[in-house]
């Protein structure tokens, strides 16, 4: 089972997210995606896909998280706002999920079968090196970081 994990970060929580990335690697996550909300230096970590929001707006963290979720290629996607809850058990549960749910505060598990999410209007998301999602522009900072699933 291929599991993807998505973190968003900004200037205030960048260092915490860096420690969560190390934890995600330690528990065996195969695809890690970070989404820079636009006001922080990039996080460079081997084999981590970095997405940068290029036109940051107030209160857009949920949209930034959704960009990472749509970009992910795993059979299940973990949306992570609290990396302290990441364990082997969480990854195991993610691999068996048949529907989206929240096992712990700050962790949402979404099986691939729940994608693409449905919207009343076209969000504009197209997978590639750069794009737009509900008016939020983004780009991949390092194409070479993509892991082989």
Domains in the chain with CATH codes: 3-144 (3.90.550)
What pLDDT does residue 34 have? 95
Location of structure tokens 């993509």: 146
DSSP 40-58: SPPP--TTEEEEEESS--T
Give this prediction's pTM: 0.88
- Is there a contact between 64 and 33 (Cβ–Cβ < 8 Å)? no
Closest CA to 75 of 89, 90, 94: 94
| DSSP, res 126 | -
Categorize the per-residue pLDDT at 28 as very low, low, confident or very high, splitting at 50, 70 and 90: confident
pLDDT tens digit sequence for 73-130 = 989 999 998 888 888 888 888 888 888 889 888 899 999 888 767 788 888 888 889 9
Output the average pLDDT for the chain.
Answer: 87
CA gap 131, 71 in Å, rounded: 11
Closest CA to 129 of 79, 74, 77, 71: 71
Most confident of 30-34, 55-59, 111-115: 30-34
What pLDDT does residue 144 have? 53
What pLDDT does residue 45 have? 86
- Is there a contact between 46 and 30 (Cβ–Cβ < 8 Å)? no
Tell me if the bond preceding 116 is cis, omega within 30° of 0.
yes
How many percent of the chain have pLDDT more than 70? 94
């Amino acid at each position: 089972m291929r599991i993807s994990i998505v973190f968003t970060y900004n200037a205030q929580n960048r260092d915490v997210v860096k420690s969560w990335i190390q934890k995600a690697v330690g528990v065996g996550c195969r695809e890690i995606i970070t989404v820079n909300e636009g006001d922080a230096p990039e996080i460079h970590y081997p084999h981590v896909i970095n997405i940068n929001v290029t036109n940051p707006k107030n209160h857009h963290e949920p949209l930034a998280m959704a960009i990472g979720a749509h970009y992910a290629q795993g059979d299940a996607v973990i949306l992570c706002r609290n990396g302290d809850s990441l364990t082997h058990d969480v990854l195991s549960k993610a691999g068996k999920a048949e529907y989206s749910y929240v096992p712990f505060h700050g962790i949402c598990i979404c099986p691939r079968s729940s994608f693409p999410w449905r919207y009343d209007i076209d969000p504009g998301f197209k997978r590639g090196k750069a794009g737009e999602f509900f008016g939020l522009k983004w780009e991949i900072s390092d194409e070479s970081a993509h892991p082989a699933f």
